[in-house]
Amino acid sequence: MKRFRYLVFSLLFVILAVMPPVFAQEEAAVEEEAAVEEEAVVEEAAVEEEAVWGDEAAAEEVAPAETAKAPGSGMTVSLGVGMGLAHGDYISSSSGLGLLVGLPFSMPIGPLDVSVSAAVLMNTMDAGSETGASVTQIMVFGMAAVPGMPFALMGGAGMAGSGLAIAGGLGVPVNAFVPDLPVQVMVGVNANIYTALDDNIEGNTGGIVGFLTVGTSF
C-alpha cells in the first residue's frame, strides 16, 4: 500500500514538473505562429501597395493629391475666350480670344510642379480714344496645381500692344469634378497689368479678366 502511494505521488510529481514547460512550449509556439501570420499579412500589404503605386491609374485613384500633375504638364493645345470683369484707367470694356500651347516639360519648385505654356491673345478693347482697338498679347505662363486644392495658380509675362504685360491668377480644372469629359476644360480669372497698350495712350493700366479654355493633350 505504501509502495502504491509512493508511485502515485511520484507520478503526480512528474506530471506537475513536466506540464508547465509543455504549456510554455505550446504558448511559445502559438505566439510564434501568430507572429509569422502577422508578418505574412504585412508582406502581402506591402506587395499590394507596391502594385498599386506602380500602376499610375490606380495610384491616382488611391491618392490623387500625391499623383496629381499640373494642368498642361504634357503637350496641350487649348482655345480660350475671355471677358473683362474690371478695368483700370482709360479702359471701358475688353474681350478676347486666345490660343494656348502647353509645353511638354515642367519645373519642380518646392512642393509645386510648374508647367510652362505659351499663349497668343487677341484682345478687343475700348481704351481712351480708341474704340474696338485690337491689342495682341503674347505671353509665357507658368502654372502649378496646388496639392490638395481644386485649383491651379498661374503667372506670366510678355508683350501687350506697345509695352509689357504681367498677369497672375488662378484656374479651376473642370475635369477634376467631371472626369469623363472628352476635353480639358478650365475656368478662372486673371489680373493683368499693361505698361503701354498703344503708342497714342500713355500710362500703365490693367484689368481683371474671366476666362474659359477648352483643349486637348497629345
pLDDT in tens, 143-182: 998 888 889 999 999 999 889 999 999 999 999 899 999 9
CA distances from 109 to 19, 103, 146, 168 (A): 68, 17, 12, 17
The pLDDT of residue 137 is 93
The pLDDT of residue 112 is 86
Do 45 and 73 reside in the same domain of the chain? no
For the residues 36-49, what does the mean pLDDT come to? Answer: 55
Task: Give me 62's grid cell.
Answer: 488611391
Local confidence band at 68 (pLDDT 50, 70, 90 cut-offs): very low
The pLDDT of residue 9 is 45
The CA distance from 166 to 206, in Å, is: 9
Residue 111 has pLDDT above 50, yes or no: yes
- The answer to whether the pTM exceeds 0.85 is no
SS3 label, residue 4 = helix
Do 185 and 127 reside in the same domain of the chain? yes
Local confidence band at 125 (pLDDT 50, 70, 90 cut-offs): confident
Do 48 and 108 reside in the same domain of the chain? no
Do 202 and 153 reside in the same domain of the chain? yes
Q: Domain range for residue 15?
A: 1-67
Give the domain CATH number at 185. Answer: 2.40.160.20
The CA distance from 44 to 52, in Å, is: 12
Percent of the chain with pLDDT over 90: 40
Residue 101 has pLDDT above 60, yes or no: yes
The CA distance from 168 to 91, in Å, is: 19
Pair type for strands 76-87 and 130-145: unpaired
SS3 label, residue 94 = strand
For the residues 64-70, what does the mean pLDDT come to? Answer: 41
Most confident of 4-13, 103-112, 189-198: 189-198
89 or 119: which carries more pLDDT confidence?
A: 119
Do 77 and 164 reside in the same domain of the chain? yes
The pLDDT of residue 56 is 46
SS3 label, residue 96 = strand
Q: CA 145: distance to chain centroid? A: 5
For the residues 94-98, what does the mean pLDDT come to? Answer: 94
The pLDDT of residue 131 is 77
CA atoms within 13 A on the CB side of 12: 6
The CA distance from 217 to 77, in Å, is: 6
* Nearest alpha-carbon partner for 186 in 176, 195, 196, 194: 176
The pLDDT of residue 158 is 96
Q: Which of 67, 93, 110 is the last residue of a domain?
A: 67
For the residues 30-57, what does the mean pLDDT come to? Answer: 53
Q: Which of 52, 67, 82 is the last residue of a domain?
A: 67
The pLDDT of residue 213 is 96
The CA distance from 102 to 106, in Å, is: 10
Do 21 and 87 reside in the same domain of the chain? no
Local confidence band at 44 (pLDDT 50, 70, 90 cut-offs): low
The pLDDT of residue 108 is 86
The CA distance from 149 to 143, in Å, is: 14
69 or 197: which carries more pLDDT confidence?
A: 197
pLDDT in tens, 71-86: 444 689 999 999 999 9
